[in-house]
């Protein structure tokens, strides 16, 4: 009988992180499986970006471990890791006027290598992602001269160009207009149906309800709760998470945003 070799795409246990004597993450354990969309919610300063940075090995945990495909994160070199995990940071402004196409092409480095020449397949993938996110018309524009929302889409295209199996997105919709938010969410759902796993931080419970299979609620560096968005994102958890009052929740409900 063959032994199963299936692992979660990403797993962390007891992940703890302190900075300047402040505990920013306290024993976080979670796992992410193929095809899942996971929304990470929590108030400003809860530790969402910090958690992402630890999951990417951009910060070293004080305790606990991260496994990618069952293997410790520290056993990967950056290039190998980039073929598995792609990251879109919260904001990024390049000081160099690379064209949008050149920025997206950076996503192919894990496949071509730093000095490797671009192959026809690489150009194809870049074009595909520019088209998928409806930013093909921006391809030759300098990245430094496009809007914040457009930059978010370019960074997502760069991440998709890596063809990784897990996408970590830090507030991917924060600068997008209403139409682009809807299109982005639908695309993320579609990608998950193709087998990718998506973890995204969001300040919009409705975004989590629209596409996430699971919501993780983080407060003061601790995992408060997790589960199906329809179950865990309710008035009681919104109050606990954000310190929002019933009256304030009523104003959302009155506008049709009932939880
Ligand atoms: N470079 C830093 N040095 C010290 N403390 C930091 C640093 N960066 C972040 N922090 C602190 O770590 C805590 C968690 O920050 P983090 O950016 O992870 O929160 P977040 O949940 O992503 O917040 P937001 O929703 O505002 O983006 C905050 O209290 C923040 O002040």
Give the separation between CA 168 and CA 248, rounded to whole angstroms. Answer: 31
Question: Measuring from atom 5 of ligand 1, which residue has the nearest CA?
Answer: 19
**Element (DSSP H or E) covering residue 199:** strand 197-201
Q: Which atom of ligand 1 is nearest to the CA of 90?
A: 27
Q: Give me ligand 1 centre to Cα 49, in Å.
A: 7
24 lines ligand 1 (CB under 6 A): yes
pLDDT surpassing 80 at residue 21: yes
pLDDT tens profile 78-91: 989 999 999 999 87
pLDDT for residue 1: 41
Give the separation between CA 48 and CA 42, rounded to whole angstroms. Answer: 7
pLDDT for residue 114: 65
- 5 pLDDT band, cuts 50/70/90, is low
pLDDT surpassing 90 at residue 118: no
Give the separation between CA 62 and CA 93, rounded to whole angstroms. Answer: 30
Q: What's the mean per-residue pLDDT of the chain?
A: 92
Give the separation between CA 81 and CA 27, rounded to whole angstroms. Answer: 23
Question: Measuring from atom 6 of ligand 1, which residue has the nearest CA?
Answer: 19
Give the separation between CA 154 and CA 107, rounded to whole angstroms. Answer: 11
Q: Give me ligand 1 centre to Cα 57, in Å.
A: 16
pLDDT surpassing 70 at residue 198: yes
Ligand 1 binding pocket mutation candidate from 49, 53, 87 (most atoms within 8 A of CB): 49
pLDDT surpassing 70 at residue 104: yes
Q: Give me ligand 1 centre to Cα 50, in Å.
A: 6
- Surface-to-core class of residue 200, CB atoms within 10 Å of its CB (0-12 exposed, 13-18 middle, 19+ buried): buried
pTM of this structure: 0.91
pLDDT for residue 3: 46
Question: Measuring from atom 7 of ligand 1, which residue has the nearest CA?
Answer: 19
Give the separation between CA 39 and CA 169, rounded to whole angstroms. Answer: 10
Q: Give me ligand 1 centre to Cα 44, in Å.
A: 8
Write phi, then psi, for 37 (nearest 5 degrees).
Answer: -110, 120
Q: Give me ligand 1 centre to Cα 108, in Å.
A: 30
89 lines ligand 1 (CB under 6 A): no
63: closest CA among 17, 2, 94, 32? Answer: 17
Give ipTM to 2 decimals.
Answer: 0.96
Ligand 1 binding pocket mutation candidate from 15, 18, 41, 46 (most atoms within 8 A of CB): 46
Q: Give me ligand 1 centre to Cα 193, in Å.
A: 32
pLDDT for residue 115: 67
Give the separation between CA 14 and CA 1, rounded to whole angstroms. Answer: 33
pLDDT tens profile 210-247: 999 999 999 999 999 999 999 999 999 999 999 999 99
216 lines ligand 1 (CB under 6 A): no
* Residues 171, 201 contacting (CB under 8 angstroms): yes
pLDDT surpassing 70 at residue 184: yes
47 lines ligand 1 (CB under 6 A): yes
């Amino acid at each position: 009988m063959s032994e199963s070799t299936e692992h979660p795409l990403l797993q962390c246990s007891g992940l703890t992180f302190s900075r300047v004597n402040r505990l920013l993450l306290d024993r976080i354990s979670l796992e992410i499986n193929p095809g899942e969309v996971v929304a990470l919610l929590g108030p400003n300063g809860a530790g969402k970006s910090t958690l992402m940075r630890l999951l990417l090995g951009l910060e070293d945990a004080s305790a606990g471990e991260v496994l990618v495909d069952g293997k410790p994160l520290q056993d990967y070199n950056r290039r190998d890791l980039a073929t598995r995990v792609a990251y879109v940071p919260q904001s990024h402004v390049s000081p160099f006027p690379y064209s949008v196409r050149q920025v997206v092409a950076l996503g192919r480095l894990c496949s071509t290598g730093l000095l490797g020449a671009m192959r026809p397949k690489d150009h194809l993938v870049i074009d595909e992602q520019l088209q998928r996110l409806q930013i093909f018309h921006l391809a030759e524009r300098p990245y430094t001269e496009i809007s914040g929302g457009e930059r978010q889409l370019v960074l997502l295209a760069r991440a998709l160009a890596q063809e990784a199996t897990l996408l970590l997105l830090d507030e991917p919709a924060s600068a997008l207009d209403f139409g682009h938010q809807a299109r982005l969410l639908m695309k993320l759902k579609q990608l998950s149906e193709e087998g990718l796993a998506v973890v995204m931080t969001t300040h919009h419970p409705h975004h989590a309800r629209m596409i996430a299979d699971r919501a993780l609620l983080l407060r003061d560096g601790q995992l408060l709760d997790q589960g199906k968005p329809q179950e865990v994102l309710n008035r009681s958890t919104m109050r606990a998470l954000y310190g929002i009052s019933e009256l304030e929740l009523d104003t959302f409900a009155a506008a049709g945003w009932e939880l």
